[in-house]
């Protein structure tokens, strides 16, 4: 599945909200989300590649921050829902992708403080879903 997140057909203000909805949908249908997890993960991974050039317009920086917030919220909702349905093995393969996103966010000096709650939320959801050290390798 290839979605053009740079397309102007749907305005940029809607795209982050669509990504956040993935987490809400996952929470609503819990384990029944597993069959489409790989498709949603692909969309979230693609969205995570969107960047703003240093000399670009402020609106693009704001859009990237909003996208990242939506991605983090989607991953947090997904991990939490899979945990509540005892299917934590399903999102575990995407943990490196999640940590890669968090690393990009941490190293990007143009990020807004508004990203912090979403990032901390997904970290908390991961810690809650994998309390027995399953993610130790992801920290290296």
CB contact at 8 A, 30 and 85: yes
Q: What digits encode the pLDDT tens for the residues 109-139?
A: 777 788 999 999 999 999 999 999 888 887 6
CB contact at 8 A, 122 and 75: yes
Q: What digits encode the pLDDT tens for the residues 73-85?
A: 999 999 999 999 9
Q: How far apart are CA 48 and CA 94, in angstroms?
A: 13
pLDDT score recorded for residue 127: 93
State mean pLDDT over 11-38.
87
pLDDT score recorded for residue 66: 92
Indicate the length of the chain as a whole number.
140
Position 4 pLDDT exceeds 70: no
Position 27 pLDDT exceeds 60: yes
pLDDT score recorded for residue 38: 94
Q: For the packed helices 95-107 and 37-47, what is the interaxial angle rounded to 10 degrees?
A: 20
C-alpha distance across the termini of the chain, in Å: 30
């Amino acid at each position: 599945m290839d979605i053009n997140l740079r397309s102007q057909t749907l305005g940029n203000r809607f795209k982050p909200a669509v990504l956040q909805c993935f987490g809400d949908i996952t929470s609503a249908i819990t384990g029944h989300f597993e069959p489409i997890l790989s498709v949603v993960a692909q969309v979230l991974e693609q969205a995570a590649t969107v960047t703003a050039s240093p000399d670009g317009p402020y609106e693009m920086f704001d859009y990237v921050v909003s996208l990242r917030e939506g991605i983090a919220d989607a991953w947090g909702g997904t991990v939490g829902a899979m945990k509540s349905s005892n299917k934590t093995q399903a999102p575990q393969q995407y943990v490196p992708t999640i940590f890669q996103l968090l690393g990009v966010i941490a190293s990007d000096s143009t990020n807004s403080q508004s990203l912090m709650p979403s990032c901390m939320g997904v970290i908390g959801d991961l810690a809650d879903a994998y309390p027995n050290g399953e993610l130790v390798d992801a920290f290296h």
